[in-house]
Chain A
Amino acid sequence: MIFHVAWRLLRRAVMNLWRTPLPSLVAVLTMALALFLGAGFLSALSGARALLRAWGAEANLTLYLAQSATEAQGAALAERVRLEHAELTVALVGREEALTRLRTDMRDLASALDGISVSALPLTVELSPRGQLTSADVRKLAAQLARMPDVVDVEYGREWRDKLEELGRGLRTAGSAATALILGAAILVVANTIRLAVYARRDEIEIMKLVGATDSYVRMPFLLEGILQGLAGALIALCGLVAVHRVLLPRAQAAFAFTSGATLGPIVPAHLVALLAFGGAVGLLGSWLAVARFLRT
């Protein structure tokens, strides 16, 4: 009995949507837009995180040793870091080497360095992580290394790192707020569409109740209509996302080298199911708001 009743209610819901195509379409498209932006935002966010991680992995630390430190002391320090931090590759850059690098960097102006004494340059130890380190890890590591003898400064690009993280946080907040706003709007549009449907079919509802329909039976087609609108919206959003993935993103990556790290990851069946389920749930919520209010009055 449950199945044929469900099947009948479903058929009726589809027919009712079909009979009022315009409001249904508006609700479906609003839902599609909301879900598209929401899901797009989420995948952009995870892409940005991957990008941050990729950059974080390339982060190098440089230890600047005191002017008084000798090459031997530098080598000892490098050895100690190598022993204590197996996760880092360690390279001591001697004074001669530093000067050579400086000359190469300055190219045409290299002659300006002619008078400079090798001893004026600091010894440095260059470290780079073998695996991936989070920003927090890098910060902790820097603090540890700064306490070692002869180390006067540790450089690890603190500023751009902080800025990037701040940017990430800002994006997340703004994106969440915008998504919540659009989702709220989608729920309201569905609620309003269903409320109009309830109003248009009030005679039918009255007669249903007079011949002995329960409130939940009366409510069911409307809830189903809300769910169907949500599912249809999710389906359209999904098509949009796939299109972006397949068509737009590859072109963008070809055009802008800096996005090459920002692969969004493939769309997997789990995403598909999650998006559909979410769309259905949002539709259900909207229609529930509409009929709960109606049946109480």
Chain B
Amino acid sequence: MIELRNVHKAYGDEPATLDDLSLQIDKGEFVWLTGPSGAGKTTLLKMLFCAEQPTRGEIHVGGHNVTRLAPSGVPLLRRSIGVVFQDFKLLPHRTVLENVGFALEVLGASDREIEERAMRRLDQVGLRAKALALPRTLSGGEQQRVAIARALVNDPAVLLADEPTGNLDPSLTDSIIELLFDANARGTTVVVATHDHALLQRHARRTVTLAAGKLVSDV
């Protein structure tokens, strides 16, 4: 489903952020991506949905060669990938429901379909009651769950989550991780970047560890 071949990434003239990285993730897998701050986790995820291009090497996601994608192919690729951003990226002037529905809106779904599916996802993340609230009136954990609901609303083949549990207490963390496991159980390939070691120990799964842009372990 996801394949990186000898990927090298450097921002401008700075030392390489990712160095000769090769990695394969199969359909339906759940993978932790870990490593110290600055290791290149976010950079790697960004390259998967075409927000950054590798300096060298090749990346394939769901049959798309991301490194050779025409500009018109980028939206199509992104529709098959749900992303939970480190900073959520919710629209402040839209309600929770509209934020979740946003990913369906750009696909051209009807109003009724958008509302139905967005409501179902909000139900799953336990936020049905907050559907008409604005994001800034929600707690950090609630915003996080809205972001996850949006990433999952169109049943993407791949879910990428960047520090989805940053700044959350352990019980909330586990409820969020359950949402990701649920998605994985429904067949979505999931990659979660985190540096929360306790989390990795509580939920043992395949773990890819980066350090200074290099792959140091994959177990």
Contacts and interface: CB of A to CB of B under 8 A. Distances in A.
B145 interface: no
Interface residues of A, number: 18
Contacts of B105: 8
A164 interface: no
A204 B135 CA distance: 14
Nearest to A2: B108
Contact of A207 (B75, B76, B77, B91): B91
A19 B93 CA distance: 11
Interface size on B, as a range, is: 20 to 34
Contacts of B78: 209-212
B70 to A, nearest CB: 12
Interface in B56-100: 71-72, 75-79, 83, 85, 89, 91, 93
Interface string B98-119: 0000110111101100000000
Given A203-B91, A204-B91, A207-B89, A212 B111 contact: no
B108 A211 contact: no
Contacts of A217: 106
A4 interface: yes
Contacts of A8: 105, 111
Nearest to B77: A212
A215 B77 CA distance: 14
B32 interface: no
B146 to A, nearest CB: 13
A1 interface: yes
B49 A208 contact: no
B111 A210 contact: no
A206 B102 CA distance: 12
Given A203-B89, A209-B78, A210-B83, 20 more contacts: A4-B110, A8-B111, A204-B91, A206-B89, A207-B89, A207-B91, A208-B106, A209-B75, A210-B49, A210-B51, A210-B85, A210-B89, A211-B150, A212-B75, A212-B76, A212-B77, A212-B78, A214-B75, A214-B106, A215-B71
A209 B83 CA distance: 12
Interface string B147-169: 00010000000000000000000
Contacts of A255: none
Nearest to A218: B106
A208 B75 CA distance: 10
Interface in A206-228: 206-215, 217
A211 B102 contact: yes
Is chain A's binding surface mostly helix, strand, loop or mixed? helix
A189 B72 CA distance: 31
A5 interface: yes
B111 A207 contact: no
A5 to B, nearest CB: 5
B106 A212 contact: yes
A60 B72 CA distance: 71
8 contacts: A4-B110, A203-B91, A206-B89, A210-B83, A211-B78, A212-B78, A212-B107, A217-B106
A212 B103 contact: yes
A213 B111 contact: no
Contact of B106 (A4, A19, A206, A213): A213
B152 to A, nearest CB: 12
A208 B107 CA distance: 11
Contacts of A207: 89, 91, 102
Nearest to B105: A8
Contacts of B85: 210
Contacts of A206: 89
A217 B79 CA distance: 14
A212 B79 contact: yes
B75 A1 contact: no
3 A-B pairs with least C-beta separation: A212-B79, A213-B106, A212-B78
Interface in B16-64: 49, 51
